[in-house]
Structure 1
Amino acid sequence: MPQTVNPREDTPALVRPGVLRTSINVEPLTCTIGAELSGVNLGDAARDDDLFAEIKQLLLQYKVLFLRDQDITRAEHVAFAARFGSLEDHPVLGSDPDHPGLVRIYKDLNSKPEHYENALHCDGTWRECPPMGAVLRCVETPEVGGDTIWINMAEAYRRLPEHIKTQIAGLRARHSIEASFGAVMPMEQRHRLKAQYPDAEHPVVRTHPETGEQILFVNSFTTHFVNYHTPQNVRFGQDHAPGAANLLHYLTSQAAVPEYQVRWRWQKNSVAVWDNRSTQHYAVQDYWPAVRKMERAGIVGDRTF
Protein backbone atom coordinates (compact mmCIF):
# COMPACT_ATOMS: atom_id res chain seq x y z
CA MET A 1 0.00 0.00 0.00
CA PRO A 2 1.23 3.54 -0.67
CA GLN A 3 2.77 5.10 2.43
CA THR A 4 4.63 8.14 3.68
CA VAL A 5 7.04 6.51 6.08
CA ASN A 6 10.75 7.26 5.93
CA PRO A 7 12.64 4.59 3.95
CA ARG A 8 15.37 4.55 6.63
CA GLU A 9 14.72 4.89 10.35
CA ASP A 10 18.08 6.63 10.85
CA THR A 11 17.48 9.25 8.15
CA PRO A 12 16.36 12.67 9.45
CA ALA A 13 12.57 12.80 9.95
CA LEU A 14 11.87 15.74 7.68
CA VAL A 15 8.11 15.40 7.22
CA ARG A 16 6.13 16.46 10.28
CA PRO A 17 3.17 14.28 11.21
CA GLY A 18 -0.05 15.61 9.80
CA VAL A 19 1.61 17.85 7.21
CA LEU A 20 1.08 15.78 4.08
CA ARG A 21 -2.13 16.13 2.10
CA THR A 22 -4.13 12.93 2.04
CA SER A 23 -4.48 13.36 -1.74
CA ILE A 24 -0.77 12.69 -2.30
CA ASN A 25 0.02 9.00 -2.39
CA VAL A 26 3.67 8.19 -1.69
CA GLU A 27 5.06 4.79 -2.64
CA PRO A 28 8.72 4.15 -1.75
CA LEU A 29 10.48 2.29 -4.56
CA THR A 30 13.50 0.91 -2.69
CA CYS A 31 14.69 0.72 0.90
CA THR A 32 17.21 3.54 0.45
CA ILE A 33 16.11 5.97 -2.28
CA GLY A 34 13.18 7.05 -4.42
CA ALA A 35 9.42 7.33 -4.16
CA GLU A 36 6.62 7.56 -6.70
CA LEU A 37 3.98 10.21 -6.08
CA SER A 38 0.43 10.05 -7.39
CA GLY A 39 -2.62 12.22 -6.95
CA VAL A 40 -0.66 15.41 -7.59
CA ASN A 41 -0.08 17.67 -10.59
CA LEU A 42 3.13 19.70 -10.80
CA GLY A 43 1.32 22.50 -12.59
CA ASP A 44 -0.81 22.90 -9.49
CA ALA A 45 2.28 22.67 -7.28
CA ALA A 46 3.85 25.55 -9.21
CA ARG A 47 0.96 27.77 -8.02
CA ASP A 48 0.21 26.33 -4.56
CA ASP A 49 2.64 27.21 -1.75
CA ASP A 50 1.47 24.48 0.61
CA LEU A 51 1.49 21.77 -2.03
CA PHE A 52 4.98 22.74 -3.17
CA ALA A 53 6.23 22.73 0.43
CA GLU A 54 4.97 19.17 0.89
CA ILE A 55 6.70 18.01 -2.28
CA LYS A 56 9.95 19.67 -1.22
CA GLN A 57 9.87 17.90 2.14
CA LEU A 58 9.32 14.58 0.40
CA LEU A 59 12.25 15.33 -1.90
CA LEU A 60 14.56 15.86 1.06
CA GLN A 61 13.32 12.59 2.51
CA TYR A 62 13.49 10.35 -0.56
CA LYS A 63 16.11 12.28 -2.62
CA VAL A 64 14.36 11.56 -5.94
CA LEU A 65 10.63 11.70 -6.66
CA PHE A 66 8.84 10.20 -9.66
CA LEU A 67 5.47 11.10 -11.14
CA ARG A 68 3.49 9.70 -14.08
CA ASP A 69 0.99 11.42 -16.38
CA GLN A 70 2.26 14.97 -15.91
CA ASP A 71 0.72 16.56 -19.00
CA ILE A 72 2.06 20.02 -18.14
CA THR A 73 3.23 22.86 -20.33
CA ARG A 74 6.83 23.97 -20.61
CA ALA A 75 5.87 27.12 -18.76
CA GLU A 76 4.47 25.06 -15.88
CA HIS A 77 7.55 22.84 -15.92
CA VAL A 78 9.81 25.89 -15.58
CA ALA A 79 7.54 27.53 -13.00
CA PHE A 80 7.56 24.44 -10.78
CA ALA A 81 11.35 24.07 -10.94
CA ALA A 82 11.80 27.78 -10.23
CA ARG A 83 10.01 27.33 -6.89
CA PHE A 84 13.23 25.68 -5.68
CA GLY A 85 15.42 28.55 -6.89
CA SER A 86 16.83 30.28 -9.96
CA LEU A 87 17.30 28.14 -13.06
CA GLU A 88 20.55 27.74 -14.98
CA ASP A 89 21.56 27.23 -18.58
CA HIS A 90 23.97 24.55 -19.71
CA PRO A 91 27.13 25.77 -21.49
CA VAL A 92 27.15 22.86 -23.95
CA LEU A 93 23.51 21.88 -24.37
CA GLY A 94 21.94 25.35 -24.23
CA SER A 95 18.27 25.91 -23.36
CA ASP A 96 14.89 26.48 -24.97
CA PRO A 97 14.82 30.06 -26.37
CA ASP A 98 11.28 30.63 -25.12
CA HIS A 99 11.87 29.10 -21.68
CA PRO A 100 15.31 30.01 -20.27
CA GLY A 101 16.65 27.27 -18.05
CA LEU A 102 14.79 24.48 -19.85
CA VAL A 103 17.37 22.25 -21.53
CA ARG A 104 16.18 20.03 -24.39
CA ILE A 105 18.03 16.70 -24.35
CA TYR A 106 16.85 15.25 -27.64
CA LYS A 107 18.35 12.05 -29.02
CA ASP A 108 17.05 11.06 -32.46
CA LEU A 109 18.26 9.73 -35.80
CA ASN A 110 20.02 13.03 -36.48
CA SER A 111 22.05 12.64 -33.30
CA LYS A 112 25.15 10.52 -33.16
CA PRO A 113 25.48 8.32 -30.07
CA GLU A 114 26.95 10.30 -27.15
CA HIS A 115 28.51 9.01 -23.98
CA TYR A 116 28.39 11.82 -21.45
CA GLU A 117 25.12 10.74 -19.81
CA ASN A 118 25.89 7.05 -19.39
CA ALA A 119 28.36 7.64 -16.60
CA LEU A 120 27.68 7.83 -12.89
CA HIS A 121 27.63 11.55 -12.27
CA CYS A 122 26.29 14.40 -10.20
CA ASP A 123 25.21 17.26 -12.46
CA GLY A 124 27.48 20.25 -12.83
CA THR A 125 30.05 19.58 -10.12
CA TRP A 126 32.49 21.35 -12.44
CA ARG A 127 30.68 24.52 -11.32
CA GLU A 128 31.80 26.42 -8.24
CA CYS A 129 28.16 26.14 -7.12
CA PRO A 130 26.83 22.78 -8.39
CA PRO A 131 23.08 22.58 -9.13
CA MET A 132 20.72 22.08 -6.20
CA GLY A 133 18.61 19.70 -8.26
CA ALA A 134 16.60 19.25 -11.43
CA VAL A 135 13.15 18.51 -12.81
CA LEU A 136 13.25 16.18 -15.83
CA ARG A 137 10.19 15.43 -17.99
CA CYS A 138 9.96 12.77 -20.66
CA VAL A 139 8.61 14.05 -23.99
CA GLU A 140 9.23 10.89 -26.02
CA THR A 141 10.85 7.59 -25.11
CA PRO A 142 11.56 4.22 -26.75
CA GLU A 143 9.16 1.35 -26.09
CA VAL A 144 12.04 -0.40 -24.34
CA GLY A 145 15.24 1.07 -22.95
CA GLY A 146 16.45 4.48 -21.95
CA ASP A 147 15.94 4.03 -18.19
CA THR A 148 17.68 6.26 -15.66
CA ILE A 149 19.31 5.15 -12.40
CA TRP A 150 19.70 7.34 -9.30
CA ILE A 151 22.03 6.66 -6.36
CA ASN A 152 21.83 7.71 -2.71
CA MET A 153 25.30 9.11 -1.95
CA ALA A 154 24.44 9.77 1.70
CA GLU A 155 23.92 6.03 2.09
CA ALA A 156 27.14 5.41 0.14
CA TYR A 157 29.03 7.52 2.66
CA ARG A 158 27.24 6.10 5.70
CA ARG A 159 28.24 2.55 4.82
CA LEU A 160 31.90 3.24 4.08
CA PRO A 161 34.39 1.46 6.35
CA GLU A 162 35.36 3.66 9.28
CA HIS A 163 39.05 3.74 8.32
CA ILE A 164 38.08 5.10 4.89
CA LYS A 165 35.93 7.80 6.49
CA THR A 166 38.92 8.78 8.60
CA GLN A 167 41.21 8.81 5.57
CA ILE A 168 38.97 11.05 3.45
CA ALA A 169 37.97 13.50 6.19
CA GLY A 170 39.26 16.88 5.05
CA LEU A 171 40.18 15.74 1.53
CA ARG A 172 39.24 18.01 -1.36
CA ALA A 173 39.03 17.22 -5.08
CA ARG A 174 38.94 18.92 -8.48
CA HIS A 175 36.01 18.56 -10.88
CA SER A 176 36.42 19.33 -14.58
CA ILE A 177 34.19 20.14 -17.55
CA GLU A 178 37.23 20.05 -19.81
CA ALA A 179 37.91 16.39 -19.03
CA SER A 180 34.27 15.40 -19.64
CA PHE A 181 32.21 17.49 -22.09
CA GLY A 182 35.38 19.06 -23.45
CA ALA A 183 37.09 15.76 -24.24
CA VAL A 184 35.44 15.44 -27.67
CA MET A 185 36.13 19.06 -28.66
CA PRO A 186 39.04 20.37 -30.74
CA MET A 187 41.84 21.64 -28.51
CA GLU A 188 41.12 25.36 -28.99
CA GLN A 189 37.43 24.93 -28.21
CA ARG A 190 38.24 22.75 -25.22
CA HIS A 191 40.61 25.38 -23.85
CA ARG A 192 37.98 28.09 -24.28
CA LEU A 193 35.48 25.97 -22.37
CA LYS A 194 37.93 25.50 -19.50
CA ALA A 195 38.72 29.21 -19.46
CA GLN A 196 35.00 29.93 -19.09
CA TYR A 197 34.52 27.19 -16.47
CA PRO A 198 37.80 26.61 -14.59
CA ASP A 199 38.06 23.40 -12.60
CA ALA A 200 36.03 23.60 -9.38
CA GLU A 201 37.24 22.36 -6.01
CA HIS A 202 34.86 20.60 -3.62
CA PRO A 203 35.14 18.60 -0.40
CA VAL A 204 35.18 14.84 -0.88
CA VAL A 205 32.60 14.62 1.89
CA ARG A 206 29.95 17.31 1.60
CA THR A 207 27.45 18.29 4.28
CA HIS A 208 23.91 18.65 2.94
CA PRO A 209 22.84 22.25 3.69
CA GLU A 210 19.27 21.32 4.63
CA THR A 211 19.37 17.82 6.14
CA GLY A 212 22.87 17.87 7.66
CA GLU A 213 23.65 14.47 6.10
CA GLN A 214 27.22 13.65 5.07
CA ILE A 215 27.46 13.02 1.31
CA LEU A 216 30.19 11.21 -0.63
CA PHE A 217 30.79 13.92 -3.23
CA VAL A 218 32.98 12.47 -6.00
CA ASN A 219 31.82 11.32 -9.43
CA SER A 220 32.88 11.02 -13.07
CA PHE A 221 33.67 14.77 -13.24
CA THR A 222 36.24 14.36 -10.45
CA THR A 223 39.83 14.26 -11.71
CA HIS A 224 42.05 14.21 -8.62
CA PHE A 225 42.52 15.12 -4.96
CA VAL A 226 44.18 18.47 -4.39
CA ASN A 227 45.49 17.92 -0.85
CA TYR A 228 46.42 14.23 -0.73
CA HIS A 229 50.19 14.75 -0.90
CA THR A 230 50.96 14.97 2.84
CA PRO A 231 53.52 13.16 5.02
CA GLN A 232 50.69 11.04 6.42
CA ASN A 233 49.79 9.72 2.95
CA VAL A 234 53.04 9.82 1.00
CA ARG A 235 56.39 8.41 2.20
CA PHE A 236 58.08 8.98 -1.16
CA GLY A 237 56.88 10.55 -4.38
CA GLN A 238 56.14 7.16 -5.87
CA ASP A 239 53.35 6.69 -3.31
CA HIS A 240 51.44 9.73 -4.50
CA ALA A 241 49.84 8.83 -7.83
CA PRO A 242 48.81 5.20 -7.14
CA GLY A 243 47.67 5.96 -3.60
CA ALA A 244 45.45 8.86 -4.62
CA ALA A 245 44.23 7.26 -7.85
CA ASN A 246 43.30 3.98 -6.18
CA LEU A 247 41.42 5.77 -3.40
CA LEU A 248 39.52 7.98 -5.84
CA HIS A 249 38.61 4.95 -7.96
CA TYR A 250 37.36 3.12 -4.85
CA LEU A 251 35.23 6.08 -3.80
CA THR A 252 33.68 6.72 -7.21
CA SER A 253 32.91 3.00 -7.55
CA GLN A 254 30.57 3.17 -4.55
CA ALA A 255 27.85 4.65 -6.78
CA ALA A 256 27.72 1.33 -8.64
CA VAL A 257 26.43 -0.56 -5.58
CA PRO A 258 22.85 -1.73 -6.38
CA GLU A 259 21.72 -1.40 -2.75
CA TYR A 260 22.08 2.38 -3.06
CA GLN A 261 20.16 2.65 -6.35
CA VAL A 262 16.70 3.05 -7.84
CA ARG A 263 15.95 2.51 -11.55
CA TRP A 264 13.12 4.34 -13.32
CA ARG A 265 11.43 3.29 -16.55
CA TRP A 266 10.25 6.31 -18.49
CA GLN A 267 6.90 6.89 -20.16
CA LYS A 268 5.69 9.98 -21.95
CA ASN A 269 4.94 12.75 -19.41
CA SER A 270 6.80 10.98 -16.63
CA VAL A 271 8.78 13.36 -14.41
CA ALA A 272 11.71 12.89 -12.07
CA VAL A 273 12.64 15.50 -9.47
CA TRP A 274 15.97 14.93 -7.76
CA ASP A 275 18.22 16.46 -5.14
CA ASN A 276 21.55 16.84 -6.93
CA ARG A 277 23.37 17.49 -3.65
CA SER A 278 22.83 13.97 -2.32
CA THR A 279 22.52 11.80 -5.43
CA GLN A 280 24.20 10.71 -8.61
CA HIS A 281 22.49 9.35 -11.71
CA TYR A 282 23.17 7.36 -14.86
CA ALA A 283 21.17 7.58 -18.09
CA VAL A 284 21.22 4.15 -19.73
CA GLN A 285 22.00 4.53 -23.43
CA ASP A 286 20.82 1.18 -24.71
CA TYR A 287 18.21 2.45 -27.16
CA TRP A 288 19.95 4.12 -30.13
CA PRO A 289 18.81 4.54 -32.93
CA ALA A 290 15.40 4.80 -31.22
CA VAL A 291 14.26 8.29 -30.26
CA ARG A 292 14.44 9.66 -26.71
CA LYS A 293 13.49 13.27 -25.94
CA MET A 294 13.76 14.77 -22.47
CA GLU A 295 13.43 18.31 -21.11
CA ARG A 296 15.25 19.32 -17.94
CA ALA A 297 15.10 22.40 -15.73
CA GLY A 298 18.25 22.64 -13.60
CA ILE A 299 18.19 24.64 -10.36
CA VAL A 300 21.10 26.80 -9.24
CA GLY A 301 22.83 25.50 -6.12
CA ASP A 302 25.08 26.86 -3.42
CA ARG A 303 28.76 26.62 -2.53
CA THR A 304 29.98 23.33 -1.08
CA PHE A 305 32.75 24.76 1.17
Structure 2
Amino acid sequence: MSSAVQTSRATGIKYQKLTCTIGAELFDVDLGDVARDEELFAELHSLLLEHKVLFLRDQDFSRADHVALAQRFGALEDHPVAGSDPDHPGLVRIYKDLDSPAEHYENAFHCDATWRQNPPMGCVLRCVEGPEVGGDTIWVDMAAAYAQLPDHVKDRIEGLRARHSIEASFGAAMPLEERHQLKARFPDAEHPVVRTHPETGEKVLFVNAFTTHFVNYHTPENVRFGSDYAPGAGELLNYLIRQAAIPEFQVRWRWSENSVAIWDNRSTQHYAVQDYWPAVRKMERAGIVGDRPF
Protein backbone atom coordinates (compact mmCIF):
# COMPACT_ATOMS: atom_id res chain seq x y z
CA MET A 1 0.00 0.00 0.00
CA SER A 2 1.40 3.41 -0.94
CA SER A 3 1.74 6.16 1.65
CA ALA A 4 -0.98 8.76 1.95
CA VAL A 5 -0.75 12.10 0.20
CA GLN A 6 0.05 14.81 2.75
CA THR A 7 -0.35 18.57 2.61
CA SER A 8 2.24 21.05 3.86
CA ARG A 9 1.00 23.54 6.43
CA ALA A 10 2.55 26.68 5.01
CA THR A 11 1.49 26.66 1.35
CA GLY A 12 -0.66 23.58 0.87
CA ILE A 13 1.86 21.73 -1.30
CA LYS A 14 0.71 18.13 -1.68
CA TYR A 15 3.35 15.41 -1.44
CA GLN A 16 3.72 11.69 -0.92
CA LYS A 17 6.64 9.81 0.61
CA LEU A 18 8.07 7.23 -1.77
CA THR A 19 10.00 5.13 0.78
CA CYS A 20 10.32 4.97 4.54
CA THR A 21 13.76 6.58 4.31
CA ILE A 22 14.15 8.95 1.36
CA GLY A 23 12.22 10.69 -1.38
CA ALA A 24 8.88 12.42 -1.83
CA GLU A 25 6.81 13.19 -4.93
CA LEU A 26 5.14 16.61 -5.11
CA PHE A 27 1.79 17.18 -6.82
CA ASP A 28 0.05 20.20 -8.39
CA VAL A 29 3.19 22.32 -8.14
CA ASP A 30 4.54 24.48 -10.97
CA LEU A 31 8.27 24.95 -10.50
CA GLY A 32 8.11 28.09 -12.63
CA ASP A 33 5.86 29.55 -9.91
CA VAL A 34 8.21 28.30 -7.19
CA ALA A 35 11.09 30.12 -8.87
CA ARG A 36 9.17 33.40 -8.51
CA ASP A 37 7.46 32.92 -5.13
CA GLU A 38 9.42 33.28 -1.88
CA GLU A 39 6.90 31.41 0.27
CA LEU A 40 6.59 28.48 -2.13
CA PHE A 41 10.36 28.21 -2.40
CA ALA A 42 10.78 28.27 1.39
CA GLU A 43 8.35 25.34 1.68
CA LEU A 44 10.10 23.46 -1.11
CA HIS A 45 13.43 23.99 0.67
CA SER A 46 11.97 22.68 3.93
CA LEU A 47 10.60 19.56 2.20
CA LEU A 48 13.99 18.99 0.55
CA LEU A 49 15.79 19.00 3.90
CA GLU A 50 13.27 16.51 5.27
CA HIS A 51 13.11 14.08 2.31
CA LYS A 52 16.53 14.72 0.67
CA VAL A 53 15.21 14.31 -2.88
CA LEU A 54 11.97 15.66 -4.34
CA PHE A 55 10.29 14.48 -7.55
CA LEU A 56 7.77 16.18 -9.82
CA ARG A 57 6.18 15.34 -13.16
CA ASP A 58 4.84 17.45 -16.05
CA GLN A 59 7.12 20.44 -15.45
CA ASP A 60 7.13 22.14 -18.84
CA PHE A 61 9.10 25.20 -17.71
CA SER A 62 11.70 27.14 -19.65
CA ARG A 63 15.45 26.84 -19.27
CA ALA A 64 15.40 30.33 -17.79
CA ASP A 65 12.93 29.16 -15.12
CA HIS A 66 15.10 26.09 -14.50
CA VAL A 67 18.10 28.32 -13.84
CA ALA A 68 16.04 30.78 -11.78
CA LEU A 69 14.74 28.01 -9.52
CA ALA A 70 18.20 26.57 -8.90
CA GLN A 71 19.61 30.05 -8.24
CA ARG A 72 17.14 30.39 -5.38
CA PHE A 73 19.40 27.96 -3.53
CA GLY A 74 22.62 29.74 -4.51
CA ALA A 75 25.06 30.42 -7.33
CA LEU A 76 25.35 27.83 -10.09
CA GLU A 77 28.50 26.02 -11.17
CA ASP A 78 29.72 24.80 -14.53
CA HIS A 79 31.30 21.40 -15.19
CA PRO A 80 34.83 21.09 -16.64
CA VAL A 81 34.03 17.96 -18.67
CA ALA A 82 30.28 17.90 -19.39
CA GLY A 83 28.92 20.58 -21.72
CA SER A 84 26.65 23.47 -20.71
CA ASP A 85 23.87 25.24 -22.55
CA PRO A 86 25.54 28.22 -24.28
CA ASP A 87 22.71 30.58 -23.37
CA HIS A 88 22.36 29.48 -19.75
CA PRO A 89 25.71 29.10 -17.95
CA GLY A 90 25.49 26.50 -15.22
CA LEU A 91 22.81 24.47 -17.01
CA VAL A 92 24.78 21.31 -17.81
CA ARG A 93 23.55 19.11 -20.64
CA ILE A 94 23.86 15.38 -19.94
CA TYR A 95 22.91 13.93 -23.31
CA LYS A 96 23.45 10.18 -23.67
CA ASP A 97 23.37 8.29 -26.97
CA LEU A 98 25.52 5.74 -28.77
CA ASP A 99 28.09 8.42 -29.57
CA SER A 100 28.54 9.50 -25.92
CA PRO A 101 32.13 9.18 -24.65
CA ALA A 102 32.58 5.91 -22.80
CA GLU A 103 34.35 7.62 -19.89
CA HIS A 104 31.25 9.72 -19.14
CA TYR A 105 29.53 6.88 -17.32
CA GLU A 106 27.15 7.64 -14.47
CA ASN A 107 26.31 4.12 -13.37
CA ALA A 108 28.27 4.30 -10.14
CA PHE A 109 27.03 5.50 -6.79
CA HIS A 110 28.41 9.01 -6.43
CA CYS A 111 27.88 12.35 -4.78
CA ASP A 112 28.31 15.07 -7.41
CA ALA A 113 31.71 16.70 -7.75
CA THR A 114 33.20 15.80 -4.38
CA TRP A 115 36.51 16.34 -6.19
CA ARG A 116 35.79 20.06 -5.63
CA GLN A 117 36.95 21.73 -2.43
CA ASN A 118 33.34 22.92 -2.12
CA PRO A 119 31.10 20.20 -3.61
CA PRO A 120 27.64 21.21 -4.87
CA MET A 121 24.93 21.89 -2.32
CA GLY A 122 22.37 20.24 -4.57
CA CYS A 123 20.98 19.96 -8.08
CA VAL A 124 17.82 20.46 -10.11
CA LEU A 125 17.63 17.86 -12.90
CA ARG A 126 15.00 17.75 -15.67
CA CYS A 127 14.38 15.01 -18.21
CA VAL A 128 14.22 16.54 -21.69
CA GLU A 129 14.00 13.26 -23.57
CA GLY A 130 14.05 9.76 -22.19
CA PRO A 131 13.75 6.12 -23.21
CA GLU A 132 10.38 4.41 -23.31
CA VAL A 133 11.65 2.09 -20.61
CA GLY A 134 14.86 2.05 -18.57
CA GLY A 135 17.16 4.89 -17.59
CA ASP A 136 15.93 5.16 -13.99
CA THR A 137 17.98 6.96 -11.35
CA ILE A 138 18.53 5.72 -7.79
CA TRP A 139 19.18 8.06 -4.85
CA VAL A 140 20.59 6.99 -1.48
CA ASP A 141 20.18 8.51 1.98
CA MET A 142 23.75 8.64 3.27
CA ALA A 143 22.66 9.97 6.66
CA ALA A 144 20.65 6.76 7.14
CA ALA A 145 23.64 4.78 5.86
CA TYR A 146 25.83 6.35 8.55
CA ALA A 147 23.22 5.91 11.30
CA GLN A 148 22.97 2.17 10.57
CA LEU A 149 26.72 1.51 10.74
CA PRO A 150 27.84 -0.70 13.65
CA ASP A 151 29.17 1.32 16.58
CA HIS A 152 32.66 -0.15 16.26
CA VAL A 153 32.82 1.07 12.63
CA LYS A 154 31.64 4.54 13.64
CA ASP A 155 34.39 4.62 16.25
CA ARG A 156 36.95 3.48 13.70
CA ILE A 157 36.12 6.16 11.10
CA GLU A 158 35.66 9.06 13.50
CA GLY A 159 38.10 11.76 12.48
CA LEU A 160 39.20 10.00 9.29
CA ARG A 161 39.67 12.09 6.16
CA ALA A 162 39.84 11.01 2.51
CA ARG A 163 40.88 12.26 -0.92
CA HIS A 164 38.47 12.74 -3.83
CA SER A 165 39.79 12.96 -7.38
CA ILE A 166 38.58 14.14 -10.79
CA GLU A 167 41.87 12.90 -12.26
CA ALA A 168 41.15 9.31 -11.24
CA SER A 169 37.55 9.46 -12.53
CA PHE A 170 36.81 11.79 -15.46
CA GLY A 171 40.51 12.09 -16.22
CA ALA A 172 41.32 8.38 -16.26
CA ALA A 173 40.63 7.94 -20.00
CA MET A 174 42.40 11.15 -21.02
CA PRO A 175 45.91 11.27 -22.52
CA LEU A 176 48.60 11.76 -19.86
CA GLU A 177 49.24 15.45 -20.46
CA GLU A 178 45.54 16.31 -20.64
CA ARG A 179 44.87 14.34 -17.44
CA HIS A 180 47.64 16.19 -15.61
CA GLN A 181 46.25 19.51 -16.82
CA LEU A 182 42.85 18.57 -15.42
CA LYS A 183 44.40 17.72 -12.04
CA ALA A 184 46.32 21.02 -12.05
CA ARG A 185 43.01 22.85 -12.47
CA PHE A 186 41.25 20.70 -9.86
CA PRO A 187 43.72 19.29 -7.32
CA ASP A 188 42.42 16.36 -5.27
CA ALA A 189 40.08 17.54 -2.53
CA GLU A 190 40.29 16.32 1.06
CA HIS A 191 37.04 15.82 2.97
CA PRO A 192 35.95 14.19 6.24
CA VAL A 193 34.75 10.61 5.90
CA VAL A 194 31.77 11.63 8.03
CA ARG A 195 30.52 15.14 7.37
CA THR A 196 27.96 17.16 9.32
CA HIS A 197 25.06 18.55 7.32
CA PRO A 198 25.23 22.34 7.74
CA GLU A 199 21.46 22.82 7.97
CA THR A 200 20.09 19.70 9.66
CA GLY A 201 23.08 18.73 11.81
CA GLU A 202 22.84 15.11 10.62
CA LYS A 203 26.01 13.05 10.31
CA VAL A 204 26.50 11.80 6.76
CA LEU A 205 28.76 9.05 5.39
CA PHE A 206 30.73 11.02 2.81
CA VAL A 207 32.72 8.63 0.61
CA ASN A 208 31.75 7.63 -2.93
CA ALA A 209 33.04 6.69 -6.38
CA PHE A 210 35.30 9.79 -6.47
CA THR A 211 37.07 8.80 -3.21
CA THR A 212 40.52 7.29 -3.71
CA HIS A 213 42.05 6.78 -0.26
CA PHE A 214 42.22 7.84 3.38
CA VAL A 215 44.88 10.45 4.16
CA ASN A 216 45.26 10.00 7.94
CA TYR A 217 44.74 6.26 8.45
CA HIS A 218 48.40 5.27 8.84
CA THR A 219 48.72 5.82 12.61
CA PRO A 220 49.98 3.57 15.42
CA GLU A 221 46.38 3.02 16.53
CA ASN A 222 45.42 1.55 13.11
CA VAL A 223 48.62 0.00 11.81
CA ARG A 224 50.72 -2.70 13.54
CA PHE A 225 52.06 -4.27 10.33
CA GLY A 226 51.99 -3.29 6.68
CA SER A 227 49.02 -5.56 6.01
CA ASP A 228 46.94 -3.45 8.41
CA TYR A 229 47.42 -0.49 6.09
CA ALA A 230 47.53 -2.18 2.70
CA PRO A 231 45.05 -3.64 2.00
CA GLY A 232 43.43 -2.89 5.38
CA ALA A 233 42.63 0.76 4.65
CA GLY A 234 41.35 -0.07 1.18
CA GLU A 235 39.08 -2.80 2.52
CA LEU A 236 37.56 -0.37 5.04
CA LEU A 237 37.03 2.26 2.33
CA ASN A 238 35.39 -0.27 0.01
CA TYR A 239 33.13 -1.41 2.84
CA LEU A 240 32.01 2.17 3.43
CA ILE A 241 31.47 2.86 -0.27
CA ARG A 242 29.33 -0.29 -0.58
CA GLN A 243 26.81 1.07 1.95
CA ALA A 244 25.23 3.08 -0.88
CA ALA A 245 24.18 -0.17 -2.58
CA ILE A 246 21.91 -1.23 0.33
CA PRO A 247 18.26 -1.08 -0.88
CA GLU A 248 16.88 0.04 2.50
CA PHE A 249 18.57 3.43 2.01
CA GLN A 250 17.39 3.94 -1.59
CA VAL A 251 14.61 5.38 -3.72
CA ARG A 252 14.29 4.68 -7.45
CA TRP A 253 12.69 7.15 -9.89
CA ARG A 254 11.32 6.31 -13.33
CA TRP A 255 11.76 9.30 -15.61
CA SER A 256 9.28 10.71 -18.09
CA GLU A 257 9.58 13.78 -20.29
CA ASN A 258 9.53 16.97 -18.18
CA SER A 259 9.88 15.13 -14.90
CA VAL A 260 12.23 16.75 -12.39
CA ALA A 261 14.34 15.68 -9.44
CA ILE A 262 15.72 18.12 -6.87
CA TRP A 263 18.24 16.65 -4.46
CA ASP A 264 20.43 17.58 -1.54
CA ASN A 265 23.93 16.62 -2.67
CA ARG A 266 25.28 16.97 0.87
CA SER A 267 23.37 13.99 2.21
CA THR A 268 22.72 11.74 -0.80
CA GLN A 269 24.37 9.75 -3.53
CA HIS A 270 22.82 8.73 -6.83
CA TYR A 271 23.26 6.18 -9.62
CA ALA A 272 22.00 6.67 -13.19
CA VAL A 273 21.06 3.24 -14.52
CA GLN A 274 22.44 2.85 -18.05
CA ASP A 275 20.25 0.02 -19.33
CA TYR A 276 18.46 1.75 -22.19
CA TRP A 277 20.70 1.46 -25.28
CA PRO A 278 20.13 2.19 -28.10
CA ALA A 279 17.52 4.65 -26.83
CA VAL A 280 18.50 8.25 -26.02
CA ARG A 281 18.44 9.93 -22.61
CA LYS A 282 18.77 13.72 -22.48
CA MET A 283 18.90 15.50 -19.13
CA GLU A 284 19.61 19.08 -18.09
CA ARG A 285 21.07 19.78 -14.66
CA ALA A 286 21.65 22.93 -12.69
CA GLY A 287 24.19 22.33 -9.92
CA ILE A 288 24.31 24.74 -6.96
CA VAL A 289 27.59 25.80 -5.40
CA GLY A 290 28.02 24.36 -1.92
CA ASP A 291 30.11 24.90 1.18
CA ARG A 292 33.23 23.12 2.38
CA PRO A 293 32.36 19.88 4.22
CA PHE A 294 33.18 19.68 7.93
Asked if Structure 1 and Structure 2 have the same fold, meaning a TM-score greater than 0.5 normalized by the shorter chain, the answer is yes
Aligned residue in 2 for 1:291 = 280
- Within the alignment, does 1:241 sit opposite 2:230 as a pair? yes
- Within the alignment, does 1:39 sit opposite 2:46 as a pair? no
Aligned residue in 1 for 2:75 = 86
Cα shift readout 1:241-285 (whole Å, capped 9, x = no counterpart) = 111001000000000000000000000000000000000000000
CA distance in 1, matches of 2:154, 2:217: 14
CA distance in 2, matches of 1:112, 1:228: 36
Question: Which residue among 210, 216, 223 is the counterpart of 1:227?
Answer: 216
Percent identity over paired residues: 76
Aligned residue in 1 for 2:9 = 18
C-alpha deviation, 1:110, in angstroms:
3.2
CA distance in 2, matches of 1:131, 1:220: 16
CA distance in 1, matches of 2:170, 2:103: 10
Which secondary structure does the structure 2 equivalent of 1:83 belong to? helix
CA distance in 2, matches of 1:112, 1:208: 34
C-alpha deviation, 1:116, in angstroms:
2.6
| Runs of 4+ displaced beyond 6 Å | none
Which secondary structure does the structure 2 equivalent of 1:194 belong to? helix
Which secondary structure does the structure 1 equivalent of 2:266 belong to? coil
Aligned residue in 2 for 1:57 = 46
- Within the alignment, does 1:74 sit opposite 2:63 as a pair? yes
C-alpha deviation, 1:115, in angstroms:
5.2
**Consecutive unaligned residues in structure 1, runs of 5 or more:** 5-16
CA distance in 1, matches of 2:204, 2:9: 29
Cα shift readout 1:149-203 (whole Å, capped 9, x = no counterpart) = 0000000000000000000000000000000000111111000000000000000
RMSD (Å) for aligned C-alpha atoms: 1.1
Cα shift readout 1:123-165 (whole Å, capped 9, x = no counterpart) = 0000000000000000000000000000000000000000000
- Within the alignment, does 1:100 sit opposite 2:89 as a pair? yes
C-alpha deviation, 1:113, in angstroms:
4.5
Aligned length: 291
CA distance in 2, matches of 1:70, 1:209: 29
Aligned residue in 2 for 1:153 = 142
- Within the alignment, does 1:275 sit opposite 2:278 as a pair? no
CA distance in 1, matches of 2:181, 2:83: 16
Which secondary structure does the structure 1 equivalent of 2:269 belong to? strand
